[in-house]
Amino acid sequence: MLTSVPFGLRKIEDYSQVVGEQLISELKKKAETLKGLKVLNISSTAFGGGVAELLYTTAPLMVNLGLDVKWQVINGYEDFFTITKNIHNGLQGMDFVLTEQMIKMYEERNKSFAENLEDEADIIIVHDPQPMAMSSFIIPKKRKKAKWIWRAHVDLSSPQQEVVDYVSKFIPYYDAVIVTLPKYSEPFKNINKPYFIAPTIDPLSIKNKDLSKSATEEIIDRLEIDKNRPIMCQVSRFDPWKDPFGVIDTYRLVKKEIKDLQLLMVASMAVDDPEGWHYFEKTARYAGVDPSINFFSNVTGVGNVEVNAIQRASDVVIQKSKREGFGLVVSEAMWKFKPVVGTKVGGITLQIKDSENGFLIETTEEAAKKVKFLIENKEKAKEMGKKAHIYVKDNFLTPRLLNDWLDIFTELSEVTG
Give mean pLDDT, residues 130-159: 89
CB atoms within 10 A of CB 310: 24
Greater pLDDT, 417 or 120: 120
With b for 16 or more beta-carbon neighbours within 10 A and e for fewer, the 122-154 pattern comes to: bbbbbbbbbbbbbbbbbeeeeeeebbbbbbbbb
Residue 156, pLDDT > 90, answer: yes
Q: Pick the residue with more confidence: 10 or 414?
A: 10
In a domain, 208, yes or no: no
Query: 408 and 364, same structural domain?
Result: no
Q: Tell me, yes or no, whether 389 lies in a domain.
A: yes
Whether 416 shows a pLDDT value over 80: the answer reads: no
269: in domain: yes
- Report how far residue 104's alpha carbon sits from residue 52's, in angstroms, rounded to the nearest whole number: 27
What band does 273 get if pLDDT is binned at 50, 70 and 90? low
Burial of 79 (0-12, 13-18, 19+ CB in 10 A): exposed
Taking only the tens place, the pLDDT of each residue in 159-195 is: 999 999 999 999 999 999 999 999 999 999 999 889 9
Same domain as 108, residue 68: yes
132, 11: one domain: yes
Residue 271 has pLDDT above 60, yes or no: no
Compute φ and ψ for 353, nearest 5 degrees: -100, 110
158 pLDDT tier (thresholds 50, 70, 90)? very high
Residues 165 and 178 in one domain: yes
**Residue 357 and residue 299 share a domain:** yes
- Section 325-347 average pLDDT: 97
Pair (33, 137) in one structural domain:
yes
Predicted confidence (pLDDT) at residue 18 exceeds the cutoff of 70? yes
Q: Please work out, in degrees rounded to the nearest 5, the angle formed at the alpha carbon of residue 187 by the alpha carbons of 181 and 189.
A: 110
Q: How confident is the model at residue 270 (pLDDT cuts 50, 70, 90)?
A: low
Angle (CA) 149-208-177 rounded to 5° is: 10
Q: Tens digit of pLDDT for each residue in 54-82?
A: 999 999 999 999 999 999 999 878 889 89
In this structure, the strands spanning 262-267 and 293-297 are parallel
Q: What CATH number should be reported for the domain holding residue 222?
A: 3.40.50.2000
pLDDT of residue 160: 95
pLDDT bracket for residue 335 (50, 70, 90): very high
Q: For the chain, what is the domain count?
A: 2
- How far apart are the C-alpha atoms of 399 and 28, rounded to whole Å? 11
91/171 Cα distance (integer angstroms)? 14
What pLDDT, in 10s, does the model give residues 203-252?
999 999 999 999 999 999 999 999 999 999 999 988 889 999 999 999 99
Backbone angles phi, psi at 385, to 5 degrees: -65, -40
How many CB atoms sit inside 10 A of residue 66's CB? 15
Residue span of the structural domain in which 91 resides: 2-200+397-413
Average pLDDT score, the chain:
94
* pTM, to two decimals: 0.93
pLDDT of residue 415 exceeding 60, the answer is no
